[in-house]
Amino acid sequence: MKILHVLETSVPNTVGYTIRAREIVTHQRRMGLDPVVITSPLFATQNTNISLEDIEGIRYYRTNHIPVPAQARSKWVSYRIRLQMLSRYRRAVLDIACREKPDVIHAHSSYTNAYGALPAARRLGVPLVYEVRTLWGESAVVENGWRRGSLKHRILWGLELGAMRRATAVVPIARGIRDELVARGINPKKMHIVPNGVDRSRFVARMRDEALAASLGLSGRFVIGFIGSVLRLEGLATLLDACALCRNAPDAPALVIVGDGPERPALQSQAHRLGLEVVFAGRVPHEAVGSWYSIMDLLVYPRIRAVINERVTPLKPLEAMAQGKVCIGSDVGGLTELIEHDRTGVIVRSEDPESLATAIRALQNDPARMARLRENALAFVKRERDWSIIVRRYGDLYAQLVGAPAGKPMQRIAP
């Protein structure tokens, strides 16, 4: 069975979006499916002349010959270019789909890819799956300062919901996303959850990189870490405040933040104001991330309380668990889906530095508890969140959809 995946971006770029996509297509190929990929004009590349490339035995079609709004000189020109981009993108997807003749077209967030794939699904008479990775409107409220219920917010939600209504099936990646979509009128019978996972062959426990630790002045230190995008929604200001509360202990933990993003300058200023010595590593090569994980004893995800965080599950805690790391997360829905308090990790009150500092000190002083949490987290990932297990859900979904008329809801599949 051939599956045409329509993506915003892909490898070799390495962000959470592309990592999930790579795992999906790689494991689908291993299970005997034939995945093919198209990336949108928004795929970041230095070479816009490449139209087709092979990555790990999978064909990746590129559409970067299509101009994108970022090249516009004014807002209105940007709107015009976006409409032109979508129209040309739809033709490009249709041309590739007619050449490849897939059995299912699987579009992934955002709505641009769903609308780009819709004409091809209709022309070929094949099912269209729309995978919802996040809630773009709610993300914009936190990161871009949009007002919930504003015109822009309503338009973005309208475009996303319209794409879901036109799809044959909708794949939310978390229970929280599914619940939000049901509340906004999407037919629950169309939805099938395929959660975030991790490839345990890529993320494995390794010995501490003593050379890296020594180069950072962290030899023999208990290290708190964060690896990911440095965004406001991650709540890293709370983490800095919590570390300030821990700094007077004789064995005060060190803090390392790996990644970059718009909040980094504000966090560096906060660290200076608090008198904290924080290692801000910035972006590191993907192949080096394992070494940075190895020097961290405790991974912290102190996300703020916001709709986007209540609904969407991050990928990074699963990567940390697979490498034998203990995780602390705030009590927002997207994290409590992954971390069970005092079983696979520790949950603390969101935006509460004292609660977080207390949890850090308690774990640092209790090696037996740390060992128990590591063992339980590894077992959870192996049992429920390895991609070799999760990817079977796609096979079941596609098998049900093949032969179903496009636009019709599928039979409900138990999550």
The confidence score (pLDDT) of residue 413 equals 43
Calculate ∠ Cα 390-392-396, nearest 5°.
130
> Residue by residue, what is the 3-state secondary structure of 72-88?
CCCHHHHHHHHHHHHHH
- 323-332 exposure pattern, b = at least 16 Cβ within 10 A, e = fewer: bbbbbbbbbb
From residue 390, how far is each of 80, 193, 195, 358 by CA, in Å?
40, 10, 7, 35
Give dist(CA 205, CA 269) in Å, integer.
34
Residue 183 has a CB neighbour count (10 Å cut-off) of 8
Q: Where are the alpha helices (DSSP H) in 257-343?
A: 264-274, 289-294, 307-311, 316-322, 333-336
Give dist(CA 110, CA 160) in Å, integer.
7
Question: Where do the CATH 3.40.50.2000 domains begin and end in the chain?
Answer: 2-197+387-401, 210-385
The confidence score (pLDDT) of residue 78 equals 82
Give dist(CA 234, CA 344) in Å, integer.
20
Convert the pLDDT of each residue in 205-249 to its tens digit: 999 999 999 999 999 999 999 999 999 999 999 999 999 999 988
Sign of the C-alpha dihedral computed for residues 161, 167, 169 and 171 taken in this order: negative
Q: 140 and 147 in contact (C-beta within 8 Å)?
A: no
For residue 69, count CB atoms less than 10 angstroms from its CB and return exposed for 0-12, middle for 13-18, buried for 19 or more. Answer: middle
Q: Which residues of the chain have pLDDT under 50?
A: 412-415
User: What kind of architecture, by CATH, is found in domain 210-385?
Assistant: 3-Layer(aba) Sandwich (3.40)
What secondary structure letter does DSSP report for 205?
A: -
Give dist(CA 227, CA 410) in Å, integer.
38
- 15-40 exposure pattern, b = at least 16 Cβ within 10 A, e = fewer: ebbbbbbbbbbbbbbeeebebbbbbb
Q: Where are the alpha helices (DSSP H) in 126-201?
A: 136-143, 151-166, 175-183
The confidence score (pLDDT) of residue 376 equals 98
Give dist(CA 412, CA 394) in Å, integer.
14
From residue 397, how far is each of 127, 332, 385 by CA, in Å?
11, 29, 18
The confidence score (pLDDT) of residue 16 equals 87
- Residue with structure tokens 């070494």? 291
Q: In this structure, which long-range contacts are made by residues 180-188, counting pairs with CB atoms below 8 Å and at least 24 apart in sequence?
A: 180/135, 180/307, 180/311, 181/132, 184/157, 185/161, 186/161, 187/409, 188/412
The confidence score (pLDDT) of residue 214 equals 98
What CATH number belongs to 2-197+387-401?
3.40.50.2000
pTM of the model: 0.90
Helix (H, G, I), strand (E, B) or coil at 358: helix
Strands 278-282 and 34-39, by their bridges, are unpaired
For residue 251, count CB atoms less than 10 angstroms from its CB and return exposed for 0-12, middle for 13-18, buried for 19 or more. Answer: exposed
Take residue 276 and report the two structure tokens written for it. Answer: 């904290």
